[in-house]
Amino acid sequence: MTTPDPDWIPYKFSHVYQGHLITGGILGFCTAVLASILNRLLVGQFQFGIILGITILSVIAAEFLIVTIRQPYTRKVRHNDPGGWLMVFVELLATLLVYSLVAIALVGVTKTAWIVLGCAMAVRLASQIMTKSWEPGWTRAAFKETWEETKKMTQELANED
């Protein structure tokens, strides 16, 4: 269970969404490139424009859905990055749902849709594993303490010269 942050201040929805769009954009770009390569190898067509369109629309919608679900949870546990398996599964399910709907709406039930969906899920899962999303993030107090230590070490290094 996540320990509440005693110095907790909730982030604005718009700020959280913008952050999610940035990270989602990076994941989306990786998804589009991987899906384009696989689509070329497996289907024999290079459809980067269509795949990029699916990815852009999906990132916008999926990240909005994730932030909409995540915000009440962060307020409940009073921690801006609570971690936990629930949020990992929410992100994976939101990605699955949104990419499925957008891909089927734009290209129908085709091999390209399945390839994009598979790549999106693989990239999201790899991201979850690499960032260890199930672990809680820093509290404000821990961040302030680490920041002060960094400033102190930087001053010591500057004074040595």
Work out the pLDDT band at 87, boundaries 50, 70, 90. confident
pLDDT of residue 2: 58
The per-type count for the chain, helices as H runs and strands as E runs, is 5, 0
pLDDT of residue 93: 94
pLDDT value at 8 more than 60: yes
Q: Mean per-residue pLDDT for 55-82? A: 86
On the question of pLDDT at 94 being above 80, the answer is yes
Cβ-Cβ contacts under 8 Å for 57 (sequence gap 6 or more): 102, 106
Please report the pLDDT score of residue 1 as a whole number. Answer: 53
Q: Is residue 5 in a domain?
A: no
Q: Is residue 115 classed exposed, middle or buried when 0-12, 13-18 and 19+ CB atoms within 10 A define those classes? A: buried
Flag whether 8 is in a domain.
no
Q: Chain-wide mean pLDDT for the chain?
A: 86
Q: What pLDDT, on a 0 to 100 scale, did the predictor assign at position 71?
A: 85
Overall domain count for the chain:
1
Confidence (pLDDT) at 5: 60
Q: Is residue 2 part of a domain?
A: no
How far is the C-alpha of 93 from the C-alpha of 110, rounded, in Å?
A: 21
What's the rounded mean pLDDT across residues 69-92?
81
Q: Does residue 151 form part of some domain?
A: yes
Provide the token pair at 28: 């989306």
Q: Which pLDDT does position 24 carry in this prediction?
A: 92
Establish if 139 belongs to a structural domain.
yes
The answer as to whether 149 is a domain residue is yes
Which letter, b or e, does each residue of 66-90 get, where b requires 16 or more Cβ atoms within 10 Å of its Cβ?
Answer: bbeebbeebeebbbbbbbbeebbeb
What is the residue range of 73's domain?
Answer: 13-160
Query: Residue 73 in contact with residue 82, Cβ under 8 Å?
Result: yes
Per-residue pLDDT tens digits for 27-55: 999 999 999 999 989 888 878 888 999 99
Over range 59-71, report the average pLDDT: 92
Residue 4 lies in a domain: no
Residue 46 resides in a domain? yes
pLDDT of residue 6: 65
Distance of CA 72 to the CA centre of its chain: 17
Asked if 136 and 79 touch (Cβ cutoff 8 Å), the reply is yes
